[in-house]
Chains A and B, each alone.
Chain A
Amino acid sequence: MANHLLEIRDLTVAYGAVQALWGVSLHVEEGSIVSLVGANGAGKSTLLKTIAGMIRPKKGEVLFAGKKLSGLRPEDVVDAGISLVPEGRRLFSRLTVKENLELGAYIHRARSSSKDSLERAYDLFPILKKRSGQIAGSLSGGEQQMLAIARSMMSKPSILMLDEPSLGLSPLVVKVMFELIESLNRAGVTILLVEQNVYQALKVSRHAYVMKTGQIAMEGSGEELIADPDVQNAYLGTLE
């Protein structure tokens, strides 16, 4: 029986008077890639942000390795071992590539191995090594996404959460990025992925959830969902 590294129970989140999540429950097995797909406004980003500690839920729990995560501040969630690559990447565009990476290892437990983590990041993303002295804002879209992922990896997370990583990227770059996600996963990182690019996301996922208006509408393995006619009609259109 696989470990549920991350467990969400009955999560309810509201922005003021507007409810965004209605009692969402899901789990992420250790070592897997899990995707959250669905239309805009379905609540996927909200869910990730709540896990990351940026939003306080009204009800429900987030359990990480059995311990309660809800109510922790974002910086403590990172310390616990969950790192979010936010939507829009949110790099420190005025700082250099190297500085962005160094800051990724800001938390205490990652600081001592910061140099090693940096080397590993450069191995994984050679383009970042080439541009290490450049200002982050001057990188191309794909390079920035790489940097954002690399920065999050610097904190040596157990779970990496990615919010719409393919947004604004060309298809070729997207393909490379999904290969990257898979190789990170093979290296032992559990991944929770929110994606608009439903096909690619489902293809790499062991398990996936479809969200609609703040609730889980469907769940299943990646293969199951790709084959499902409803999913195909709603999200897969005439792609590939």
Chain B
Amino acid sequence: MLEYLTAGLLMQLFINGILFGTMYGLAAIGLSLIFGTMRIIFLAQGAVIVLMAYACYWLFTLLHVDPYVSTVIIAPAALLLGGGLYQALFRRAQKMEDKNVSLLIAVGLMFLLENFMAVVWTPNPRSISTSYTSSSLAVGGLDISFTRLMGFVMAILSTAVVTLFLKKTLVGKAVRAASEDIEAARLVGINPHWVNTMAFAIGIGLSGIAGIAISTTYPFDPYFGFVFSLKAMIALALGGLGSVSGALLGGIILGLLESWAAFFVSGGWADAMGYAVFLLVLLFKPEGLFVRSIKKA
């Protein structure tokens, strides 16, 4: 196999890995924000991303809205949906000490969404084909798929927006503070439900972006979500909780890992390697690969 390995191919794998990795990264950022505030792993993240992918697909198929243009519709809708979902489903559960109730609601939501999509839209894989979905750009002798590049750009942009929100706005700082110490946050007057709602809404909003990117790059079906959730969790573990850039980086690393592993080893084992790395990181560096531990004040 190694005889096929040229520098060009290596670069190609590298680029593909990064491009796809940002998808994981987006999902991981959402997970990170939700975990930081609500203290649960939002297992339904992947299912929500697939739901958004379907939204993009149907907007395109029925109303002929270009997938990238649909961002204008989907992103705000996703934010609102996130806020609404939190208020409807999680608000009461979050008041309880036992966070497992919230965890199980997330599980229920995952089940609900997956099966709902399978029943209503059939388990057949869907994908979007436009004039540009199969085109690629030639950059320095490499072929970069246009849609993957767009997905990458969208991911970077949304990450930047979210980072700005967290760093520059008072509410964003409140979200960061609450992620670190919710009790101390309440003692300065921060309402936990408000920060939870914000974090959750952003998480769902980012899922919207990821969904659009997925729908234009890969065929997807209702069950695609669960594996994607797992991958997002791996990315999160790699990047460490509490760091937006870490989550994105974690996703990119995972993307690279998968890209190379899939080349050298068959697809299934590449997945297993991902999970194995995941377990190793959880066991030996649970705070993530990049986070330096800061003494608690």
A103, B190: Cβ atoms closer than 8 Å: yes
Task: Report whether B297 and A144 are in contact in the complex, using a CB–CB cutoff of 8 Å.
Answer: yes
Minimum CB–CB distance for A97 against chain B, Å: 11
Contact A74 B186 (CB under 8 A): yes
Per-position contact with A for B168-181: 1 when CB-CB < 8 Å, else 0? 00100110110011
Report yes or no: B180 in contact with A92, Cβ–Cβ below 8 A. yes
Residues in chain B near residue A86, CB distance under 8 A = 183-184, 187
B189 at the interface (CB under 8 A from A): yes
Across the interface, name the chain B residue whose C-beta is closest to A90. B184
* Interface contact A92-B186, CB-CB below 8 Å: no
Residue numbers in A under 8 Å from B190 (CB-CB) = 75, 103, 106
Across-interface contacts of B180 in A (CB, < 8 A): 92-95
> Does B173 contact A93, Cβ atoms closer than 8 Å?
no
B189 touches A90 (CB 8 A): no
Residue of B nearest to A148 (CB): B297
> Does the CB pair A78–B187 fall under 8 Å?
yes
Residue from B170, B181, B295 within 8 A of A92 (CB atoms)? B181
Q: CA of A216 to CA of B166 in the docked complex: distance in angstroms?
A: 45
Cβ of A93 and Cβ of B294 under 8 Å apart? Answer: yes
Flag if B184 contacts A91 (CB, 8 Å).
yes
Tell me, in angstroms, the Cα distance from A28 to B186 when the chains sit together.
Answer: 24
Residues of B within 8 A of A103 (CB): 170, 173-174, 177, 185, 188, 190
Is A90 a contact partner of B173 (Cβ separation < 8 A)? no
Check A151 for interface membership: any CB of B closer than 8 A. yes
Asked whether A106 lies within 8 Å of B174 as measured between CB atoms, the reply is: yes
Question: Which residues on the A side are within 8 Å of B294 (C-beta)?
Answer: 93-94, 135, 137-138
B64 within 8 A of A: no
Closest chain A residue to B291, Cβ basis: A94
**For chain A residues 63-80, which have a beta carbon within 8 Å of chain B?**
73-75, 78-79
The answer to whether B188 touches A94, judged by C-beta atoms less than 8 angstroms apart, is no
- The complex places the Cα of A151 from the Cα of B187 at a distance, in Å, of 10
Write out, one digit per residue, whether chain A residues 147-165 have a CB within 8 A of any chain B CB (1) or not (0): 1100110110000000000
**Cα of A68 to Cα of B49 in the assembled complex, Å:** 47
| Complex contacts, A147 vs chain B, CB 8 Å | 297
Question: At the interface, yes or no: A83 with Cβ under 8 Å from chain B?
Answer: yes
List, in ascending order, chain A residues with CB within 8 A of B187's CB: 52, 54, 74, 78, 83-84, 86, 90, 152
**A residues 170-217 with Cβ under 8 Å of B?**
none
Alpha-carbon separation in the docked complex, A53 to B173 (Å): 23
Please indicate which of the listed interface residues B181, B242, B297 has the most CB atoms of chain A within 10 Å of its own CB: B297
- Name the A residues within 8 Å of B176 (CB-CB): 92, 94-95
Chain A residues in 8 Å Cβ range of B189: 75, 78-79, 106-107, 110, 155
Question: In the assembly, what is the distance between CA of A92 and CA of B177, in Å?
Answer: 6
Residues of B within 8 A of A136 (CB): 297
Contacting residues, chain A, for B297 (C-beta < 8 A):
89-93, 136-137, 139, 144, 147-148
Asked if A151 meets B188 with Cβ closer than 8 Å, knowing A90-B183, A95-B176, A103-B174, the reply is yes
Give A135 to B242 CA distance when docked, in angstroms.
Answer: 15
Measured between beta carbons, the chain A residues less than 8 angstroms from B174 are 103, 106
Determine the distance from Cα of A107 to Cα of B188 in the docked complex, in whole angstroms: 7
Rounded to whole angstroms, the CA-CA distance of A206 and B186 in the bound complex is 30
Hey, what's the 0/1 contact readout for B143-186 against A, CB within 8 Å counting as 1? 00000000000000000000000000010011011001101111
Cβ-closest chain B residue relative to A83: B187
**A102 CB–B CB distance under 8 Å:** yes
Cα–Cα, bound, A104→B242 (Å): 21
Which residues of chain B are within 8 angstroms of A91 by Cβ–Cβ distance?
184, 297
Q: How far is the CB of A204 from chain B (nearest CB, A)?
A: 23
Residues of B with Cβ closer than 8 Å to A? 170, 173-174, 176-177, 180-181, 183-192, 242, 294-297
6 pairs of A and B residues whose beta carbons are closest in the complex: A91-B297, A107-B189, A90-B184, A74-B186, A93-B297, A78-B189
**23 CB-based A-B contacts, threshold 8 Å:** A53-B186, A73-B191, A74-B187, A75-B190, A78-B188, A83-B187, A90-B184, A92-B176, A93-B294, A94-B180, A95-B176, A95-B177, A95-B180, A99-B173, A103-B177, A103-B190, A106-B170, A106-B188, A111-B170, A137-B295, A137-B297, A144-B297, A151-B188
